[in-house]
Amino acid sequence: MLRALGLVTVLGFVPSSAEAWCQLTSENVEVRPGECVTEGAPLRWERRCLSYTLDTSGSPDLPIETVRAVVQDAFAEWTSVDCDGSPLDFEVQETEVLAECRRAEHRSGGPNLNAITFLDEWPSRYPEEAYAVTSVWHRVDDGEILDADIVVNNRLGPYAICPDDGCEEGPDGVVPADLPNVLTHEVGHFFGLAHSQFGWAAMGASSPRGETRKRTVWSDDAVGICAIYPPGSLDTACDFTPLGGQGTTCPKSGCSATGARPGLFAALLALLAVGWRRRR
C-alpha cells in the first residue's frame, strides 16, 4: 500500500522484514503483550461474501447515516488491501433488516447476523476501558469463523469524526473518540486479526482518545490480512446470508451472549482506551 510505504519512509524505524501482526487462534483467551498466541487453530473465514447488520438505533453521538458511512469505510479500508498486485477476495455488504436482537451471539443451527451495535449498558464481562469489543465466533477444531459481532461502548464516548490529525479536548474537558479509528480496528478483529505488537498499527492494542492513526490499514496490518487470506484461498461461491439463515430477532429464550457451546467459542477482542474517562 502506498500509505504504508509512506509510513516506513517518513518514520524510517520499521525494517521492511519486520512483522508484528498476529492472527487470532482458538486458544486466544489470555493477553500476552508483545507476542502472538500460536497455540490452537488459527481463525479465518472460509467464505468470501460477508454481511453485517447495523443497529438502526445507531450511536447517541452521530446520525445513523454517518455511522453507516463510517462502517462501510472501515470494511473498505481492509477489503481494498492490495496483496502483491492481487486484491483480497472479500465482498462485504450491509444487510438492512430490523434487527431487534442487539446481543453479540451465535446460534448453532439457527439464524444469525453479524451485528454492529452501540451499547449504553456495557456488560461487566467486557473490559471497562474498552471502546469496543468484537466477538469472533469460531469452531474450535478447525478455526473457521462462523459469526462476528462488534459492540461499541457508548460510555467511552462521545464519538466523533475527528479531523485527520485527531480530536482536541472539547469544552466539556473530554477528548472525543474517533469512531473510524475504533471501527477500523474492530473490523480487523472481525477478519481474524489479533493485536499487533506494533502499537502504531491499526491492530495496535490501545488508543489514546482522539487518535486517528488506526483509521488506516498500515503495512503490518496489510501483510497480516494478505497472509491469512492469500488471494484465491477462499471458497469462490458467494452467499451473503449468515450461517443458518438471516437472523432478525432474538429467540424467546436461550439467547446467552457468550456461553461457549461444545466446539464453539467466541474470542473477545477489545480496543482499550489510553487515559480514558467515562462520560458523565
Q: Are 267 and 22 in contact (CB under 8 A)?
A: no
Q: Which residue has 459481532 as its cell numbers?
A: 149
Cβ distance to Zn ion smaller for residue 37 or 269: 269
Cβ distance to Zn ion smaller for residue 137 or 247: 137
Contact call for residue 24 and Zn ion (CB under 5 A): no
Cβ distance to Zn ion smaller for residue 99 or 145: 145
Helix (H, G, I), strand (E, B) or coil at 5: helix
CB of 53 to Zn ion, least distance (A): 21
262: exposed, middle or buried (Cβ count in 10 Å: 0-12, 13-18, 19+): exposed
Applying the rule CB under 5 A, the residues between 250 and 269 that interact with Zn ion are 269
**H/E stretch holding 82:** strand 82-83
CB of 189 to Zn ion, least distance (A): 6
Among 61, 271, 273, 276, binds Zn ion (CB under 5 A): 271
Cβ distance to Zn ion smaller for residue 43 or 271: 271
CB of 276 to Zn ion, least distance (A): 14
Round to whole Å and give the CA distance between 135 and 182.
15
CB of 100 to Zn ion, least distance (A): 27
Residues contacting Zn ion: total by CB under 5 A:
2
Strands 49-54 and 91-94: parallel
User: Cis before residue 60, ω within 30 degrees of 0?
Assistant: no
| Contacts to Zn ion by CB under 5 A | 269, 271
